[in-house]
Homo-oligomer: A and B are copies of this chain.
Amino acid sequence: MKLHKIVVAVLALGVAAGALAQAKPEVLVKQRQAAMTLQGKYFGPLAAMAQGKAPFDAAVVARNAGYLEALSRMPWDGFDASTKDVKSGTLPVVYSDAAKFKQAGENMQAAVDKLVAASKGKDEAATKAAIGGVGKTCGGCHDDFRQKP
């Protein structure tokens, strides 16, 4: 497939957010949910390790922490005000108190950065504590900004 066809295909999907027109609200929601899905994929095993429910594997922690460093930056522009009326698990307070929500996102990123640093050391206990720190920011944000399942 030629690059111009890729561009046409990508634009047809409405995913060229930022560089061109603003993405459609439904696309923004799909993208932010994708980031959450992948955060779950790569954080889940670490949470299990921190809890002693799975054997500690330093290589997996370091790899997943690196992925989470990128993923933890990805959801936020998807919570654009234009998405307010799209069906999702998001509570209205995300849009009515955007500053508080932004802070919660930044807390998570900071906790992930600490985990990335810890995962480069050789200290299993410190790494597990850093995993716990990330989990706390996930849970805190879900408590405040997401509908109860």
Interface-forming stretch among A40-48, A84-92, A96-104, A118-126? Answer: A40-48
CB-nearest residue of chain B relative to A5? Answer: B139
Q: Which of A3, A45, A48 has the most CB of B within 10 A?
A: A3
Identical chains bound together, number: 2
Q: Which residues of B contact A67 (CB under 8 A)?
A: 70, 73-74
Complexed CA–CA distance, A44 and B1 (Å): 15
Flag if B143 contacts A53 (CB, 8 Å). Answer: no
Flag if A135 contacts B41 (CB, 8 Å). Answer: no
Flag if B3 contacts A17 (CB, 8 Å). Answer: no
The proximity string for A residues 48-81 relative to B, scoring 1 for CB distances below 8 Å and 0 otherwise, is 1111011101001000001101110110000000
**In angstroms, how far is the closest chain B Cβ from the Cβ of A19?**
3
